[in-house]
Structure 1
Amino acid sequence: MEETDVQSESDEEALRFEIEQPEDYSEYLLHSKADIVAVLRSLIKRRALVSAYIDRGSAFLLTSLLAVTTDSDELVLDWGRDEEVNRRALLAEQLILTALVDKVKVQFTLRNLAETRSDGRPAFRAALPTKLLRLQRREYFRLSTPIAKPVKFVATIQRADGSALVAEASLLDISGGGVGLMATPSLAALLPSGTVLGECKMTLPDEGLLVAQLCVRNKFDVTSRGGGRYVRVGCEFMALPGGKMGMVQRYITRVERERKARLSGMA
């Protein structure tokens, strides 16, 4: 797993988390200890990848939940690969953790992380959160991108030997939660689950250039009707700022409206 710094481009583009907007998402907040523990244990069972944002997104690390102990009201998180980021996490005033399981977003806040050990390896421990957000993203409609106006994807990928590869692919689909890439098997092999891709560039027709950070979540092989083979690489947007989310939603709404108009014979 990889960690990286996150730079906010402006005040308007600062990272926003639903758990910090209780007036808009109060119906999705859990306060019962039993409910919170049940959700946290589901993350362990599903081996969910968790993004831990340090001090409102100044940096983040990718981790996973290892244990939940109700006797001591503590949880244990996996240690990250980058020692500097791990130390920043231990010193952080606050961490916001977010995960996505079966299109359900889970968010919670932790404070005062401490170092511990799990199965003989370094790990983090912290007090159980007092509230947890569980948000079903029903509004995330997945749009298959038009063949006539393809959306191109460009990002720089680090190979295992440290060299850089400028990768290009087409988007198969896009939603408010992320994108599906049409990748060759060789490209997909360079994108294991958990890979973080920074500065991904996608030009949305009639909207402009979208630059976003993505995390690879899943992959599966596809065979087209013509017998061609490719890999769909599913990627999640990582804390996409509100302005960029609006850009994505406008593109989806317009393309779907145009598609329905053509089907009804009005275009």
Structure 2
Amino acid sequence: MQAITDAELEAWHDYEIESPREIVALLRQLAEKNQLVRMLIKGEADVCVTSLLHVDPDTDTVIVDRSVSPEQNQRIVAAGTVRCDTSLDKIRIVFGLEGLSEVEYDGGTALRAAIPASLIRLQRREFYRMPTPVTNPVRATIPLPVDMGGAVAVFPLADISCGGIAIYDNKMQLGTTIGETYANCRIDLPEIGPVTCSLQIRNSIDMTLLNNKTSRRLGCQFVDISRGNLAAVQRYITKLERERNARLAGLA
């Protein structure tokens, strides 16, 4: 991982999570998966590779494995605040820990800190797709060209990212020509609002369903999408992620 600067942290404010329940859920996943964490004591000049051992919201504490170096442990405690950098399911997680102190834990010595008040969950959204709801599908409205009848067709989404969407073309209306672009499309994002852009076909998969009917899944790339519309897509993805995290934590 590349080092994160203060300027980057400020730019990533939109990816900041401040919900205590979500923070606890993410930290617990890191602990359960024994995910390695880079603890930056004085930037890249002084780094400790560690892991989270326990997260206790009742006492507002997180237990972190200590360094093998006693001198480095002293520097960690003296630093006051350290920055932690790790990943979870290929998504980068960045958070700070304050007030670290040594504590007896599980027959040994570890480090204790307060649960962070916020963290940054930064995923490479151009490669990461979030599945959209199945029971109440998000829908994309695509105007068909004259040679396809000139009507307006509606398609349920399979997933969404900041690079594009995947749709189900159950009636085989759009064809499979890679690079075919449809202008003035609208995607209605629940609780966010409509997003308009052009969609370009990038891949196509024909599927046989359990009832032996055939369906087609089309991967579509956003074309000429405005910054405002892209921000709306980002907000919707964040909403889906938070709902998923709540389900994983048994809170929804």
TM-score bucket (shorter structure): 0.3 to 0.5
Higher gyration radius (CA): 2
Calculate the TM-score normalised by the size of structure 1: 0.45
Calculate the TM-score normalised by the size of structure 2: 0.48
